[in-house]
Structure 1
Amino acid sequence: MKRILILGASGFIGNALYKELCSYFDTHGTYFTENDFFEANHQFHHYDLETESIEILLENLRPDVIISALRGNFDAQISAHFSIINHILKYNSKLIFISSANVFDGFTNFPSYEYDKTLSQSIYGRFKIKIENALLRLPNHQYNIVRLPMVFGKSSPRVKQLKTIIDLGEPLEVFPNVVINATEILKVTQQLHYIINRERQGVFHLGSTDLTHQRDFISDICEGLGYENPLFKNVYDSNYDRFLAVLPKDNKLPKNLQITISQVVEASTKL
């Protein structure tokens, strides 16, 4: 049975992955914030990104697959990932790095595909690119780069934030000229399960197969949540449509593992 280590398994994406994979693999996870549940679960291991070396945990567990869903200090993350790369080269294991559509936020005229050149104007995007570039120098079977657009779901932080803002009577900032795609957390976990099972290689874009304007998408989410007339604050940062979307082209998944914008809305708003 494969041993999987999820770094950041107490976070939104990491914990959903743990729940999806733990019945099928010897699945371990890391957490940072003190929590009675995680402390009692011997599959979870405390890890402080900024003060501890990841090498000790990796040597003790010797995972076949490492999934990085870490958050926190960027410099500490970069250092940790270079240690992980050294480990997987030594033991011929694999790293699945969860990246972001922001690695393309320097390009605005078109949606981006798996092997397009990356360019970012944001600190967050450039940090992700630095780790991606290190992985791209590895043998193909030792890494996956998984780029995600905005991730929703009925219990997602993004949906909770929308509800909080509307309930407080405050306006939601929306971007009428930004064209996006999105995804939903349960579909993401199924997709990653498939990638692990089938030992797929390379770069994957796990967003919806279609696009929408960000304002229209948020409006549909609000309507699905039962808010009839939420207050919107339109933000125009361009006179033209600007794309921030990651579409699959070279590494497409089976039809049952693909998702559309309407399915993201439905999954994020159903009772």
Structure 2
Amino acid sequence: MKRILILGASGFIGNALYKELCSYFDTHGTYRTETDVFRENQQFHHFDLETENVEILLENLKPDVIISSLRGNFDAQVATHFSIINYILRTNSKLMFISSANVFDAFTNFPSYEYDKTLSQSIYGRFKIKIENALLRLPNHNYNILRLPMVFGKSSPRIRELKTLIELGEPVEVFPNVVINATEIQKVTQQVHYIINRKKQGVFHLGSSDLTHQKDFIEDICLELGYENPLFKNVYDSNYDRFLAVLPKDNKLPKNLEITISQVIEASTKA
């Protein structure tokens, strides 16, 4: 049975991936914050990327596939991923790196596709690009780069934050001129499962197949959640539409694994 290690399996995306994959593979995960839930699960292993070397964990578990959904100090993340790459080269294993639409945030006039040039104005985007560039130098079968737009879901941090702001009477920042796509966590886990099963290679854009303005998207979510008159704060950072969206062109998934904006809203708001 294929052994999978999810780095960051206590986080929102990592934990959803663990729940999706654990019935089908010998799936292990890491956590940083001590809780009884993770400490008592023999498939979970404590790992602090700022104080520990990931190579010890890799040598003990010998995973065939490593999924990285780590969060934390950017420099420590870069060092950890370079150690993972050394392990991959020695063992011919594979790294699936959860990246972000922000690797394209310097491009504003159009959506971005899998093999477009990356360029970012943000610290977060440049950090993701540094790891991506290291992976792109590997043989294709040794990596996947999985670029995500904003990830929603009924228990997602973004939905919880939205509800909290509205219920406190605080304004919700919206961006009328930003064109986005989005996705929902359960669809992401199914897509990753498919990529593992089919041994797909290269770069994937795992966002909705259609686009919308960010303000319209947030307004629709609020309406579906039952908030009729939330307080919005419009933020204009451009006089024109600015795109922050990742669409597939070269590596398209089957129709049943695609998702639309309306499906993201429905899955994120249904009871």
The TM-score normalised by the length of structure 1 is 1.00
> How do 1:208-219 residues align onto structure 2 when only pairs under 5 Å count?
208-219=208-219
SS at match of 1:52: coil
The one-letter code matched in structure 2 to 1:187 is: K
Paired position in structure 2 for 1:174 = 174
Matches within 5 A, 1:97-176: 97-176=97-176
Alignment of 1:203 with 2:213, yes or no, is no
The one-letter code of the counterpart of 1:14 is: G
CA deviation after TM superposition for structure 1 residue 171, in Å? 0.8
Secondary structure at the aligned position of 1:195 is classed as: helix
Give the CA deviation at 1:185. Answer: 0.1
Task: Provide Cα deviations, 1:132-178, integer angstroms capped at 9, x if missing partner.
Answer: 00000000000000000000000000000000000000110000000
Structure-to-structure mapping, 1:1-271, within 5 angstroms: 1-271=1-271
Identity of aligned residues (%): 86
Distance 1:19 1:216 in 2: 32
> How far does residue 114 in structure 1 lie from its aligned partner after superposition?
0.2
Deviations 1:72-103 (A, max 9, x none): 00000000000000001100000000000000
* Unaligned residue ranges in structure 1 (runs of 5+): none
> Once the 2 structures are TM-superposed, how far is the Cα of residue 207 of structure 1 from its aligned partner?
0.1
d(CA) in 2 for partners of 1:242, 1:22: 39
Aligned residues: 271
Distance 1:236 1:39 in 2: 46
1:259 maps to a residue whose letter is I
User: Which runs of 5 or more residues in structure 2 are unaligned?
Assistant: none
Q: Shift in Å at residue 198 of structure 1?
A: 0.2
CA deviation string 1:177-208 (max 9, x = no partner):
00000000000000000000000000000000
> With structure 2 as the length reference, what TM-score do the two structures score?
1.00
AA at the equivalent of 2:189: T
Shift of 1:104: 0.1
Q: Distance in 2 between matches of 1:224 and 1:7?
A: 34
- The runs of at least 4 consecutive aligned structure 1 residues that moved more than 2 Å come to none
Per-residue deviation, residues 30-71 of structure 1 (Å, max 9, x unmatched)? 000011011000100000110000000000000000000000
1:20 alignment partner, SS class? helix
1-structure distance, mates of 2:72, 2:250: 31
Whole-angstrom CA distance in 2 between matches of 1:114 and 1:177? 24
Q: Which amino acid is 1:79 matched to?
A: A
